[in-house]
Structure 1
């Protein structure tokens, strides 16, 4: 009996070991990829002349880690007239045999000198051909004899969540560090980054990886490692890369035109949540809700209106509001866009000619004060007043009412403040206090109701429910 148990234990152990070997055999071998791609991956260092504190006033910071020195230096008075060299490190990759190199804009921004170190440890001074802060892409040029190793450029359009990807870069200055992981998601929109549909991965990316390439298993570059989400300053499992399709389009424009042109619709949009979807008669939360149409912009000329929900552009669905600027930004000024929108519960198609994104895209109107007669709606708990002609002109609105006072009630719960301007309530335009009061009195109970509010020049829709 004991012999039989020992035999079964041995058999089970062999089976488990065999399963482990099979599992390991299924993992990809990145060795050929790294050997072929590494020669085209470079280290980038920059120098920038910066003011330095006086030596007599500078305490001994020897032994203090570099990441903490800035904290201690802040309280030290500056001595004018002296300079020091501030250095930064990043990564990049060669895309042409005659010496064009791609990296991040933030790696070389404000640099007085850019140096590119090749895998053979030779260093070449680089010229900044052009940079695009909106996409965080920069194009460099080094002198070469058309024999430089180059990466293979792939396509990010077909990239799917779950695919293996590999990053090569110089985290913390350690050249040609290889890390691997999978694509976590595509088409990510990050705060203040409206024009890049980022690739999210779980590849370990740290300071110094910025600007380095992200490869697929075919050894093709599918992205530029750009950002990480971190609370500690180091890798925490969330890394973001610029799709190579976006980066190469930017690089080609910088090389040929010296600047980047993007499509522009001229609207302020917001996400459609469950309550907004219900208030606008949508089956599910989807699309981009138009909260503001900029006067004289392409959307205004094409007939787009506040309260429209954009569901698709040229047949491509707009599932999340962030999909719209990604798609519009990839278009060229003058292109024709067919927009499918929901307006007042019914679908319609609008044809809009895409404009050029202005250099200063913060074209929002300024808010105004209060004036005119007032009235109160006890049901909402808000007192509103008429807009004067001067206020309408400064706000660039045709109608609306201004919030004078907020009492306890639904208005206070949704965060209304004195000075806010209400232009729409329950999908109806507000042209006077009388209209506002009439609509407010008839609002349904326990059903999502939308309200469009202008605050400090920015418009947004909010939703609320009135109790029975």
Structure 2
């Protein structure tokens, strides 16, 4: 009995020692060996969301069911006249023949009374627009307004019932790696759902308009344009707008206009009848190691100010050449796409808190955004400004920049002929607005010639080389 008690005591002590060693090795501070400088760290169970590929872990069914009823099929019917000179010459036929063209895409219902957002390129030049809901009901749609720069259009249908609609999410809160669904009508199919993740944000594809896309690897194909990109709660985070592919079909990546940008455009069109654009009033470029080396600065991220527009909000707030913008309100700025994407969600007279670095010190300034029409730039003695609604109506155009003034001595003799003309393209690239033109001209060397196409005050198109 005595020997049995000794054995029991030894066993008990051994077990306690083993348990204590285990706790010390594996349980201390969630790290192997319990040391703070350990190489391996185990995240606590509460860290982040439980993510996986299994259906038990990520369930898309609720988001898909909510979204497919809010995504519509958009049919664009356009007509153009095709003339046949030979028939006209020999048989006297006049007026040509009417040819009907049909295009298709997608749209997203954003209100129960029938407002629908889609891409501008889906309904461009349409003489008729037909909307088909997921329940197969069809309606004629009215075009309320468009924004060709951001590739967004607003439509309206008068349905005989309250419609399901999608709520806008805050696209600034979207995280890279977050699960998303793309819903649309590819290849004329009814609502199709594909899943993927957010691959990148504020993606700049160097287009003439929008410069801040959400990039995703969810499959998007022709016909998906104008459809919804939603999160796992079925909330709208983007409008699918394009794919990057040599074949025109999905090969790995697709792009969407962020919902914050789309919502701002829709609200502007509904409230003002057009898009209200505010500008910060700075020109420059994003930093990287090479640019920073050339500029002789240590910072490698942010937007470097090379020029401040006179009388702009930036100038009034004290921003100067050499300042580096690193944050707008709570949004970090490391690229031009970050900056332009955020400013595109704002209106004239909105106040933005600009955090910038000057001589190594961080400063903050309150900048009141200026109206975009007042934004101007100068190139080779030609001062340019954006065209206004009167110019657009007069010349029947929806883009271009006006020659405001001539200070170039070699062109002074032509000042009366040039001043007031509207530039349509520079080196065969559309002069969409002053921002686009400024970015394009900044890439030109001082002695490099530029080919300019413009329309004069009489509506005649001609070209010059300067």
TM-score range, shorter chain: 0.5 to 0.7
- Structure 1 residues 384-409: Cα deviation after superposition (integer angstroms, max 9, x where no partner): xxxx9948999xxxxxxxxxxxxxxx
Structure 1 residue 203 displacement after superposition = 0.8
Would you say the 8 A contact 1:290–1:306 is kept in 2? yes
1:418 and 1:193 mapped to 2: Cα distance?
Answer: 22
TM-score, normalised via structure 1 length? 0.65
Structure 1 residue 140 displacement after superposition = 0.7
Structure 1 residue 114 displacement after superposition = 0.6
Would you say the 8 A contact 2:182–2:227 is kept in 1? yes
Determine whether 1:308 maps to 2:323. yes
Query: CA separation of 1:367/1:172 partners in 2, compared to 1, >3 Å: closer, same or farther?
Result: same
- Which of 351, 354, 357 is the matching residue for 1:339? 354
Determine whether 1:320 maps to 2:347. no
- Structure-to-structure mapping, 1:2-21, within 5 angstroms: none
Match of 2:373, SS?
coil
- Which of 251, 255, 272 is the matching residue for 2:287? 272
Determine whether 1:365 maps to 2:378. yes
Structure 1 residue 248 displacement after superposition = 1.7
2:362 and 2:77 mapped to 1: Cα distance?
Answer: 56
Determine whether 1:229 maps to 2:271. no
Determine whether 1:419 maps to 2:426. no
Would you say the 8 A contact 1:206–1:228 is kept in 2? yes
Q: CA RMSD in A?
A: 3.3
Partner of 1:44: 74
Would you say the 8 A contact 2:261–2:344 is kept in 1? no
Determine whether 1:239 maps to 2:274. no
- Which of 165, 186, 190 is the matching residue for 1:175? 190
Query: CA separation of 1:79/1:202 partners in 2, compared to 1, >3 Å: closer, same or farther?
Result: farther
1:23 and 1:227 mapped to 2: Cα distance?
Answer: 26
Match of 1:186, SS?
strand
Query: CA separation of 1:348/1:153 partners in 2, compared to 1, >3 Å: closer, same or farther?
Result: closer
Partner of 1:69: none
TM-score, normalised via structure 2 length? 0.65
1:391 and 1:355 mapped to 2: Cα distance?
Answer: 32
- Structure 1 residues 33-61: Cα deviation after superposition (integer angstroms, max 9, x where no partner): 3333322211000111113254989xxxx
Would you say the 8 A contact 1:196–1:242 is kept in 2? no
More strand by share: 1
Determine whether 1:208 maps to 2:223. yes
Aligned positions, number: 342
- Which of 88, 93, 106 is the matching residue for 2:121? 106
Structure 1 residues 289-298 or 22-31, which shifts more? 22-31
Partner of 2:162: 147
- Structure 1 residues 154-178: Cα deviation after superposition (integer angstroms, max 9, x where no partner): 3323211122211121112112122
Query: CA separation of 1:187/1:366 partners in 2, compared to 1, >3 Å: closer, same or farther?
Result: closer
Partner of 1:85: 100
Structure 1 residue 418 displacement after superposition = 6.5
Point out where structure 1 has 5 or more consecutive residues left out of the alignment. 1-21, 58-77, 370-387, 395-414, 421-454, 458-468
Partner of 2:202: 187
